[in-house]
Chain A
Amino acid sequence: MSHLKLNILSTTFKCVQPDLSAPGVDIIASWSPLSSPSGNPNDTRKVQYNIISGTSMACPHASGAAAYVKSLHRDWSPAMIMSALITTGTMV
């Protein structure tokens, strides 16, 4: 399942937005002690990990996939790597 910011359409750029989906729902990740796990100012707990959803959680998956492709093709441009991710996406 994916969580995405939904753009209706970029008429200016004439490409499909969003380009690609990545996992972003109920993702466990490390969490800063400067912020409470709930975001509530009355919540004084400090945690090392939290589970949240959103593009902030999906973006690292996409970045990691891009880095993986780059690691196998050091000479590829960013556009080539993005193209590789987009054209091989699994229809959901």
Chain B
Amino acid sequence: MILMMHAATPMNTPCNSNTTALKYGAGQLNPAKAHDPGLVYDTVEGDYVAMLCAQGYNATQLALVTGSNTTACPNGSTSGTPSDLNYPTMAARVEPGMKFSVVFPPTATNVGAVAAVYDVKVVFPVEAVNDLTVVVSPSRLEFSAQGQKILFTVGVSGVAMEEGRVHSGAVVWYNNEHEVRSPVVVYATSDDSQQNGV
């Protein structure tokens, strides 16, 4: 009976184990669903170049990656941040105990039915609610063509947890045919050089 209750309770999804998304990412791949994802987050070469530029790559370093001496940073600038890269997962490092606000600006591309409508749900374990607020805008995506792109924003704000704590959840676009899940992780550490762990 206890097991059944757990199985029916969202807070016992793997998300409430604090490091799960950092262990499993989006979960185990499922080819039967992957061939029909409904929405995708597309990225082209220029987006990767902009990401490298945002990290301070110079022309020489860029050429090593792109294989071309003609690659240049957009407008010669290094503005923007790496989180601008259109990517199906989102993560934010936050300073322990500090107020924070992070905005991700993903663009969804409709690869499903011509007229497709998606609503959003934000899935986080109960213990995360005290620490952070996740706002997705708009909360509904209405497509009228295949290949159509719609930009939305995912704002994550709140007061950061104590050092080492992780909140792991997801933003999910859904309708009757599809569930498009993006893992979202908020990780509190004052050590921003801590990129590779175990």
Contact = CB atoms under 8 A, between A and B. Distances in A.
A15 B198 contact: no
A22 to B, nearest CB: 5
Contact of B31 (A6, A15, A68): A68
A14 B81 CA distance: 9
Size class of the contact patch on chain A: 35 or more
B41 to A, nearest CB: 4
Nearest to A20: B25
Interface stretch (A29-37, A39-47, A84-92): A84-92
Contacts of A2: 24, 28
B152 to A, nearest CB: 14
Contacts of B87: 13, 15
A7 B196 contact: yes
A9 interface: yes
Residue of B86, B93, B104 with most chain A CB atoms under a 10 A cut-off: B93
A64 B192 CA distance: 35
A80 interface: yes
A14 B29 contact: no
A9 B195 contact: yes
B30 interface: yes
Contacts of A4: 23-25
A26 interface: no
A15 B43 contact: no
Given A2-B28, A79-B42, A91-B27, A11 B195 contact: yes
A43 B196 CA distance: 35
Given A68-B34, A84-B34, 16 more contacts: A8-B187, A8-B195, A8-B196, A9-B91, A10-B195, A14-B92, A19-B88, A21-B27, A23-B28, A76-B40, A79-B86, A82-B88, A84-B35, A87-B88, A91-B24, A92-B14
Interface of A: 2, 4, 6-23, 61-62, 64-65, 68-69, 72-73, 76-77, 79-80, 82-92
Q: A-B pairs with the 10 shortest C-beta distances?
A: A8-B197, A89-B27, A89-B26, A79-B43, A88-B33, A14-B83, A16-B89, A84-B37, A83-B40, A18-B25
13 contacts: A2-B24, A7-B197, A13-B82, A14-B91, A15-B85, A20-B28, A20-B29, A21-B29, A61-B29, A76-B40, A82-B88, A89-B27, A89-B30
